[in-house]
Amino acid sequence: MYCINISRMILPKLKLITTDDGSHSLYDEELKESYHSFNGAFKESIHVFMIYGLDSWVAENPNKKPIRILEVGFGTGLNAWLSLVWAEQNQIPLLYHSIETRPLSEEIYSQLNYGDMDDAIFHYKPYLQRLHKAKWDEGVIMSEYFNMKKDHISLQDVKLYPADIIFYDAFAPSKQPEMWTSEALGKACESLRPGGLFTTYCATGKLKIELKELGLEVETLAGPLGKKEMTRAWKR
Question: In this structure, is residue 27 part of a structural domain?
Answer: no
- CATH number, position 99: 3.40.50.150
Sign of CA dihedral 231, 232, 234, 235: positive
Exposure of 193 in the CB half-sphere (CA atoms within 13 A) = 12
For the chain, the domain total comes to 1
- Widest Cα–Cα separation across the chain: 45
Question: In this structure, is residue 19 part of a structural domain?
Answer: no
Domain that holds residue 205: 44-234
Per-residue DSSP letter, 51: I
Please count the other Cβ atoms lying within 10 Å of the Cβ belonging to residue 204.
Answer: 15
Question: In this structure, is residue 80 part of a structural domain?
Answer: yes
Question: In this structure, is residue 14 part of a structural domain?
Answer: no
Question: In this structure, is residue 102 part of a structural domain?
Answer: yes
Question: In this structure, is residue 202 part of a structural domain?
Answer: yes
Question: In this structure, is residue 38 part of a structural domain?
Answer: no
Question: In this structure, is residue 29 part of a structural domain?
Answer: no
Q: What is the pLDDT along the chain (236 residues), one digit of tens a residue?
A: 333 333 334 457 999 999 999 999 999 999 999 999 999 999 999 999 999 999 999 999 999 999 999 999 999 999 999 999 999 999 999 999 999 999 999 999 999 999 999 999 999 999 999 999 999 999 999 999 999 999 999 999 999 999 999 999 999 999 999 999 999 999 999 999 999 999 999 999 999 999 999 999 999 999 999 999 999 999 99
Strand 229-234, strand 146-152: pairing: unpaired
Strand 24-28, strand 33-34: pairing: antiparallel
